[in-house]
Amino acid sequence: MDTFFQIIILVLLALVFIQDLKLRAIHILLPIAILIFGLISYFDRGYDMLNLLYTFSFLVITIGGLYLYLSAKNRKLTNPFKKNMGIGDLFFFISVIPFFALHNYILFFITGMFFSIVGFLIIRLVVKTDLVPLAGLLALYLLILMVISYVTKYDLFFTKIF
């Protein structure tokens, strides 16, 4: 059953990447499906709810910090989802919470941003655009991490790396 869910999750991540790359938007059902399959797999492995709450709290604090930073920078209250980030990106960040322990999610968040910068610079060589397909690039990054974890048999998601 776990392998079946992993294949479905890989397909969903590939769809997020393709759709965000082409449309610079993702359908709401993709992150919802990723979240559902992720939660099923998460609880099937016996992990507890507390990790999900801590990880969600990290995301709320990070988005709150982005809100405060942009508001201070613009000297007025600024919604980061109007210009700086898409709502699909937020839904994607929420949908992948069940795939990580808190420390690994933070590591994914940071390294995923670097991966997205490099990915965007490569995309920009081909297509002239200022819109970063963040959810799509992070989906590709997560897909790569899942394949590496499967091939090496090393748990990159719940084993404390640092």
Read off the pLDDT of residues 90-107 as tens digits, 9 standing for 90 and up: 999 999 999 999 999 999
Identify the pLDDT of residue 150.
Answer: 94
Q: Give CA–CA dist 93/134, Å, rounded.
A: 10
Alpha helices of the chain — where are they, by DSSP H?
Answer: 2-23, 29-44, 49-74, 80-83, 87-95, 102-126, 134-152
Per-residue pLDDT tens over the stretch 41-52: 999 999 999 999
Integer distance in angstroms from the first to the last C-alpha of the chain? 30
Identify the pLDDT of residue 129.
Answer: 83
Which residue ranges of the chain lie beneath pLDDT 50? none
Residues of the chain with pLDDT > 90, as a percent, come to 83
Identify the pLDDT of residue 59.
Answer: 97
Identify the pLDDT of residue 3.
Answer: 85
Identify the pLDDT of residue 1.
Answer: 52
* pTM for the full predicted model: 0.94
Asked whether 157 and 50 are in contact (CB, 8 A), the reply is: no
Closest CA to 33 of 11, 2, 4: 11
Identify the pLDDT of residue 122.
Answer: 94
